[in-house]
Structure 1
Amino acid sequence: MTITNFSFPTPIKFGAGARKLVAKHLIEAGCKRPLIVTDRALGALPVLTEFVSHLDGLDVAVFTGVFGNPTCSQVMDGAAAYKAHQADCVIGFGGGAALDVAKVVGVAATHEGDILEYVWDHPQMRPITHELPYFIALPTTSGTGSEVGRSSVVSENDTHLKRVVFSAKILAKTVFADPELTVGLPSHVTAATGMDALTHNIESYLSPAYHPLCDGIALEGTRIAAAALLTAVQNPGDLKARSDMMMASMMGAIAFQKDLGAVHSCAHALGAVCDLHHGLANALMIDTVLAWNMESAPEKFDELAHVCKVPGGGAAFVPWLKQLKQSIGITGGLAAHGVKPEHFPRLIEIATADICHQTNPRPCTAADFDALFKAAL
Structure 2
Amino acid sequence: MSISKFAFPTPISFGAGARRLVGPHLLEQGLKRPLIVTDRALSQLPVLSEFMSHLAGLQVAVFNGVFGNPTCAQVMAGAAAFKAHQADSVIAFGGGAALDVGKVVALMAVHEGDVLEYVWDHPQVRTIVNPLPYVVALPTTSGTGSEVGRSSVVSENDNHHKRTVFSPKILARAVFADPELTLGLPPAVTAATGMDALTHNIESYLSPAYHPLCDGIALEGLRIGARALATAVNEPGNLQARADMMMSSMMGAIAFQKDLGSVHACAHALGAVCDMHHGLANALMIDTVLAWNHEAVPAKFDELAHVVGAAGGGTAFVGWLKDLKARIGITGGLAARGVTLDLLPQLVPLAATDFTGGTNPRPATEADYERLFKAAM
Does TM, normalized by the shorter one, top 0.5?
yes
Aligned twin of 1:317: 317
Which TM-score applies when normalising by structure 1? 0.99
- Structure 1 CA distance, aligned partners of 2:229 and 2:288? 20
Aligned twin of 2:227: 227
Aligned twin of 2:28: 28
- Structure 2 CA distance, aligned partners of 1:327 and 1:100? 30
Tell me whether 127-136 or 264-273 shows the greater mean CA deviation. Answer: 127-136
Matches within 5 A, 1:156-171: 156-171=156-171
Q: CA deviation at 1:323?
A: 0.9
Aligned twin of 2:257: 257
Q: CA deviation at 1:51?
A: 0.2
- Structure 1 CA distance, aligned partners of 2:185 and 2:16? 16
Aligned twin of 2:299: 299
SS at match of 1:276: coil
- Structure 2 CA distance, aligned partners of 1:279 and 1:206? 18
Deviations 1:271-330 (A, max 9, x none): 000000000000000000000001111111111111101121212111110111011011
Aligned twin of 1:184: 184
- Structure 2 CA distance, aligned partners of 1:120 and 1:259? 14
1:269 aligns with 2:269: yes
Aligned twin of 2:7: 7
- Structure 1 CA distance, aligned partners of 2:231 and 2:329? 13
SS at match of 1:64: strand
Aligned twin of 1:327: 327
Q: Which amino acid aligns with 1:69?
A: N
- Structure 1 CA distance, aligned partners of 2:101 and 2:39? 10
- Structure 2 CA distance, aligned partners of 1:247 and 1:67? 25
SS at match of 1:126: coil
1:287 aligns with 2:287: yes
Deviations 1:165-195 (A, max 9, x none): 1111110010000000000000000000000
- Structure 2 CA distance, aligned partners of 1:167 and 1:321? 33
Aligned twin of 1:83: 83
- Structure 2 CA distance, aligned partners of 1:248 and 1:128? 30
Q: CA deviation at 1:163?
A: 0.6
1:68 aligns with 2:68: yes
Q: Which amino acid aligns with 2:270?
A: L
Aligned twin of 1:352: 352
- Structure 2 CA distance, aligned partners of 1:171 and 1:70? 18
Q: CA deviation at 1:255?
A: 0.4
- Structure 1 CA distance, aligned partners of 2:54 and 2:320? 43
Aligned twin of 1:148: 148
Aligned twin of 1:39: 39
Q: CA deviation at 1:2?
A: 1.6
Q: Which amino acid aligns with 2:193?
A: T
Deviations 1:260-280 (A, max 9, x none): 000000000000000000000
Structure 1 gaps of 5+ residues are none
Q: Which amino acid aligns with 2:313?
A: G
- Structure 2 CA distance, aligned partners of 1:311 and 1:265? 29
- Structure 2 CA distance, aligned partners of 1:290 and 1:124? 36
Q: Which amino acid aligns with 1:245?
A: M
Q: CA deviation at 1:159?
A: 1.1
Q: CA deviation at 1:123?
A: 1.2
Q: CA deviation at 1:107?
A: 1.2
Deviations 1:109-165 (A, max 9, x none): 111111111111111111111111110000000000000001110000001011111
SS at match of 2:90: strand
Identical residues among aligned pairs (%)? 75
Structure 2 gaps of 5+ residues are none
- Structure 2 CA distance, aligned partners of 1:234 and 1:207? 31
- Structure 2 CA distance, aligned partners of 1:27 and 1:70? 30
- Structure 2 CA distance, aligned partners of 1:272 and 1:315? 31
Which TM-score applies when normalising by structure 2? 0.99
Tell me whether 90-99 or 125-134 shows the greater mean CA deviation. Answer: 125-134
Q: Which amino acid aligns with 1:236?
A: P
Q: CA deviation at 1:338?
A: 1.2
Q: Which amino acid aligns with 1:85?
A: H
- Structure 2 CA distance, aligned partners of 1:260 and 1:115? 23
1:100 aligns with 2:75: no
Q: Which amino acid aligns with 2:11?
A: P
The count of residues paired between Structure 1 and Structure 2 equals 377
SS at match of 1:316: helix
- Structure 1 CA distance, aligned partners of 2:247 and 2:53? 26
Q: Which amino acid aligns with 1:113?
A: G
- Structure 2 CA distance, aligned partners of 1:301 and 1:369? 21
Q: CA deviation at 1:346?
A: 0.8
Q: CA RMSD in A?
A: 0.7
- Structure 2 CA distance, aligned partners of 1:22 and 1:28? 10
Q: Which amino acid aligns with 1:192?
A: A
- Structure 1 CA distance, aligned partners of 2:122 and 2:207? 26
Q: CA deviation at 1:22?
A: 0.4
- Structure 2 CA distance, aligned partners of 1:353 and 1:160? 15
SS at match of 2:41: helix
